Structure 1
Amino acid sequence: MEGTTIRYPDVSSVIVGVDGSKPARQAALWAAAEAVRRDRPLHIVHAADTDSRVLYLSADSVEQVRQAGRGLLDETAEAVATGYPGLHVTTEFSRSDPVSSLHRAAGLHGTIVVGNRGLGGFKSLMLGSVGLKVAAGAKTPLIVVRGVENGTEAGAVVVAVRDEHDLECAQYAAREAELRKASLRLLHVWNILQSVGNVVTMLDNIDDIAGEQVEKLKAVTAQIRDEFPGLRVQADAEKSRSVAGVLVEASNQADLLVMGGRRSPGYMGPTLGRVTHTLVHHAHCPVLLVPRHGPEPGSES
């Protein structure tokens, strides 16, 4: 491709973006471990975005940016090779912006990995603006690397399950749990206020509503246990005013938190739903967003 120095990734590579920040380097090393688990190549991308600034940069400046970017890629690839010597690694220097570069590299089957913040991020728990845009527009699985600094492993994968529309997401989480030799926890959280709306008389039927929520979880759980008989599966239904709060708390005891990537159409294009937005900012473990295919029964509230 013109304007890009690239060694093409495998169609199912794990794709990670690096920008010289510590979180990006942590994400690259985490992505390398993930690639080994999945028996997939690792593709490291540095997007310099010089094309959008070509009118403001001299040829010398562009060359300096290119050399710095290639140096960063070589340094990251060397660190990965030291930790994972058998892993097949490719690198890409892109003159495009980071968002489109990562989406393009992932193609139809790659898995994108991003750090929890970049060079321009606040020193807090917040995901950077680039990471948010990559997550919101991703059409392939995307993982936000969070909570890996302590190096502990909980031996569990948690997946958020609402109803039968989350079966594909639960299946993906089950495969991730098998790869990690971990247990799987299917967690259904329902908001009583959301369920009854403003009709106070519906409070009389709260037991019926609770029963319906549990039945939805049971149906998905039964199918997962059927398809993955060797997997330890736990199913929990919780009632709370804050779905996001329960999931963030659950992430304290997880190696990976899996969510279906529900998105809402915004004025500036696709955006993450409120619960997903909270998780990629505040979860205590990596968050895997699984894209949805086909029509959705409703957007995330």
Structure 2
Amino acid sequence: MNSTVNGSEFGSVVVGVDGSEPARRAALWAAAEADRRGSPLHIVYAADTEGRDLYISADTIERGRGAGSDLLDETAAAVARLHPGLHVTTEFSLSAPATSLHRSAARRGTIVVGNRGLGGFNSLLLGSVGLKVAAGAKTPVVVVRGTGDVTTGVVLAAVRDEHDLDSVRHAAREARIRKSELRLLHIWNILESVGSVVTMLDDVEEIAGEQVRHLTAVTDRIRDEFPDLTVEADAEKSVSVSGALVEASHHADLLVMGGRRSHDAMGPTLGWHTHSLLHHAHCPVLLIPRTADRNGSES
């Protein structure tokens, strides 16, 4: 079956700006992405002054509004120079950044954020706003990482099992609009598979075969649905799933994965592997929302 890709299928692209250099790079990446998709771009500045009237003076709020409006205009102008045909809208929001972006994306948009904003410490690889946006989103989220100086022509999709089919489909659509190759990568950690028990060689081979079957099932579906796409599939063993994916991200323009979450803590939190990729990947990471499975396993 042939799949079609158009702006309405992807939805709009929503990007947050705050005056930082990572946010500016994210805005330009979001503009290029919207242009590829044929989708509109919506640029949001969140002042985070809602409900703070008793603590912030009217003059301070007004200065912030002016600075935010100027930043929106400057960003929109920079985007227009690079993508003159792109439909761009802007929004000045009084709400908190994560709340503003989630609301603007609604149910159909893709949210784009930089890897660190003005309020973050330099030691933090991903700022608190980015983490809140990713952890609480019900729509796709892109955290823009890497320099983008080199184009590899590869979209990388992390595959754990058949439940990742939706995120891999999204990766296939991304690969097609980029005219890129799609690489499906399944990383399995034998220590996680067998625990601390010493197993026989036959047990290890059986586990390896099961891992490959998961990947093959997804690969066959994607090749059937996207016959015009070059699809490569690899299964690798590693002592660190997230470490192997970080290394693979060196050779990709975009890493797509199902962003599993755990609700065991106070509110939604990102899974361990997801969290690691958002902090350390060498290319932009696109998360497709997915909750933890029944046994609580997550990535």
TM-score normalised to the size of structure 2? 0.93
**Which one-letter code corresponds to 1:96 in the other structure?**
S
Gaps of 5+ in 1: 1-10
Q: 1:198 offset after TM fit, Å?
A: 2.9
Match of residue 278, structure 1, among 268, 271, 276 = 276
Q: Which secondary structure does the structure 1 equivalent of 2:111 belong to?
A: strand
**Which one-letter code corresponds to 1:18 in the other structure?**
V
Contact 2:172–2:182, Cα closer than 8 Å, also in 1? yes
1:156 aligns with 154
The yes-or-no answer on 1:82 pairing with 2:81 is yes
1:140 aligns with 139
Contact 1:187–1:236, Cα closer than 8 Å, also in 2? yes
2:107 aligns with 108
Q: Which secondary structure does the structure 2 equivalent of 1:105 belong to?
A: helix
2:121 aligns with 122
Contact 1:174–1:224, Cα closer than 8 Å, also in 2? yes
Contact 2:260–2:292, Cα closer than 8 Å, also in 1? no
Contact 2:188–2:237, Cα closer than 8 Å, also in 1? yes
Distance 1:138 1:39 in 2: 23
Q: Tell me the number of residue pairs that the alignment of Structure 1 and Structure 2 aligns.
A: 290
1:242 aligns with 240
Gaps of 5+ in 2: 1-9
Q: 1:293 to 1:31 in 2, by over 3 A?
A: same
Moved more, 203-212 or 24-33: 203-212
Q: 1:60 offset after TM fit, Å?
A: 1.4
Matches within 5 A, 1:9-88: 12-88=11-87
Contact 1:116–1:125, Cα closer than 8 Å, also in 2? no
Moved more, 71-80 or 288-297: 288-297
Q: Which secondary structure does the structure 2 equivalent of 1:93 belong to?
A: strand
**Which one-letter code corresponds to 1:172 in the other structure?**
H
Q: Which secondary structure does the structure 2 equivalent of 1:40 belong to?
A: coil
Deviations 1:236-265 (A, max 9, x none): 000111000110000000000001010011
2:266 aligns with 268
1:257 aligns with 255
**Which one-letter code corresponds to 1:116 in the other structure?**
N
Moved more, 264-273 or 82-91: 264-273
Q: 1:202 to 1:139 in 2, by over 3 A?
A: farther
TM-score normalised to the size of structure 1? 0.92
Distance 2:260 2:32 in 1: 27
Contact 1:263–1:299, Cα closer than 8 Å, also in 2? no
Superposed CA RMSD in Å reads: 1.7
Q: 1:56 offset after TM fit, Å?
A: 1.3
Deviations 1:21-45 (A, max 9, x none): 0000010010000000110000000
Distance 2:121 2:150 in 1: 25
Contact 1:44–1:90, Cα closer than 8 Å, also in 2? yes
2:4 aligns with none
Distance 1:188 1:87 in 2: 36
